[in-house]
Amino acid sequence: MENTNKLTASLKSVFKGNTMIFVLVGVMLLFEVLIGIKTEGMASLFAPANITNIIRQNAYVVILATGMLLCILTGGNIDLSVGSVVALVGALAGVFIVNLGMPIWLAICLCLIIGTMIGAFHGFFIAFVHIPPFITTLAGMLLWRGVATIVLDGKPIAPFPQKYLNLFESFLPNAGEATEANEIEVFGEIVDKHVLIITLILTLICVLAYLVMEIVSRQKKIKNGYTVSSKGSFIAKLAILSIVIVILGQFLARDRGLPVILILLGVIIAAYGYFTQNTVPGRYLYAIGGNEKAARLSGVNTNKVMFFAYTNMGFISAVAALVTIARLNSAQPTAGQNYEMDAIASCFIGGASAYGGTGTVGGAVVGAIFMGVLNNGMSILGVDMNWQRAVKGMVLLLAVLFDVMSKKKKSGK
């Protein structure tokens, strides 16, 4: 009986800690059924090529969500300018690379520096002049969109050199010329044997690296006296996420291999996940969101932390801009529209609190994937764009409502 109670408690803990993952899986299965019924089995959400497209099309959301999370942690603050910054940095990249023929590495460095400077510009007024983030970034949204249109003179710049596109739009390993000798049938599909094997090996390496990092992190927390989840919950979490990685890997292996953009996303997610959870400056973000006055009295320089959060958002926006122009193969004055909404919604859907102080990079990533699946699934079903906006708005409202109700329940109000 005691073992049964422990198992039940562990399962509840696993479900509570990974609620959005289970919801995401449920939504994907629902879309798969609906798509199968509508297309009579001719289309599938889980087609390998479609999984690859979901990753490529929503890479910018994942990137922006990691940066937006840092702003939200400081007290529910947001950055409304990111879409306009994406447009401006993309426009400048087009001028540097296409019009001026600048070396690609130099143009990328300049774009990252400019994006960081724009973020620092916002951060200065927010942290030191104490203009509310909403007003500062709303002004930035209008300002940088106007500058982007001026830089481009209202016209797109295209195409970009293939060397630049390969940095974000290529795949590993590079598939050779298709021949019968290197083809194999998997689940009724003909795939490249070389791509399949290499991608699966890389997937297993990723799983192993993930397991090692999680185990080492847990042991470190135990050594330092931090409270950790039960061993059963921890093992269940590792098993669930490892299975998810393997399933994703086999989908990619059956298509064109591992997208290079996915490697970039992995680096960003790992870096920001470690920063927010395992560094003192990262924990300062949570401290300010929990109680800014208490954090200040404890010796935290809240102004510098706020300045960093928005400076970083500018840098992340520049990275998203470089990815976006590679996917579109053009710099456009209309690029980045509503990107800020996608990033904000991803964070809240992924469990970030509207009041700040709560949220994880992993949760923001799950939220971004959730948004991507919603977009992709509804597009395949042929849902009208207006209805798509309505559905996403309702999902965001429900996510914030859940957060508010949870806080009221905890406080007993």
pLDDT digits (tens, 9 = 90+) for 354-375: 888 888 998 899 999 988 898 8
Name the least confident of 16-20, 253-257, 327-331.
16-20
Banded model confidence at residue 229, pLDDT cuts 50, 70, 90:
confident
pLDDT at 154 (0 to 100)? 87
Average pLDDT over residues 268-284: 90
Q: Tokens 């600048």 identify what position?
A: 102
Q: If pLDDT is split at 50, 70 and 90, which confidence band does 161 have?
A: very high
Is the model's pLDDT at 2 over the cut of 60?
Answer: no
What is the per-residue pLDDT for 177?
A: 47
26-51 confidence digits (pLDDT tens): 888 898 898 888 887 788 888 888 99
Cα(275)–Cα(281) distance, integer angstroms: 8
Q: Say how far apart CA 187 and CA 254 lie, in whole Å.
A: 9
**At residue 251, does pLDDT exceed 80?**
yes
How do residues 305-319 score in pLDDT, each as one tens digit?
999 999 999 999 999
The tokens describing 77, both together, are 């603050």
Residue 230 is predicted with a pLDDT of: 76
Average pLDDT value for the chain? 87
Q: Which two tokens stand for residue 42?
A: 């001719």
* Closest alpha carbon to 354 in 393, 319, 403: 403
pLDDT of 7 reads: 58
Output the pLDDT for position 398. 81
Report pLDDT digits (tens) over 127-160. 999 999 999 999 999 999 999 999 998 899 989 9
Say if residue 302 is exposed, middle or buried (CB neighbours under 10 Å; 0-12, 13-18, 19+). middle
- Summarize pLDDT for 174-200 with one digit per residue, the tens: 754 444 556 776 666 777 788 888 889
Going through 81-164 in order, the beta strands assigned E by DSSP cover none
**Confidence tier at 351 by pLDDT (50, 70, 90):** confident
Buried b (16+ CB within 10 A) or exposed e, 314-327: bbbbbbbbbbbbbe
Q: Rounded to 10 degrees, what is the CA torsion of 10, 16, 17, 23?
A: 120
pTM over cut 0.85: yes
Taking CA atoms, 321 is separated from 168, 253, 297, 329, in Å, by 11, 28, 38, 12
Rounded CA-CA distance 391/14 in Å is 28
- Determine what percent of the chain is predicted with pLDDT higher than 70: 90
Residue 78: what residue type?
I
- Does residue 167 carry a pLDDT above 70? yes
Cβ atoms < 10 Å from Cβ of 32? 15
Q: What is the mean pLDDT of residues 103-117?
A: 96
d(CA 58, CA 75): 26
256 pLDDT higher than 80: yes
What span, in angstroms and rounded, lies between the C-alpha atoms of 179 and 191?
10
Helix, strand, or coil here: 336? coil
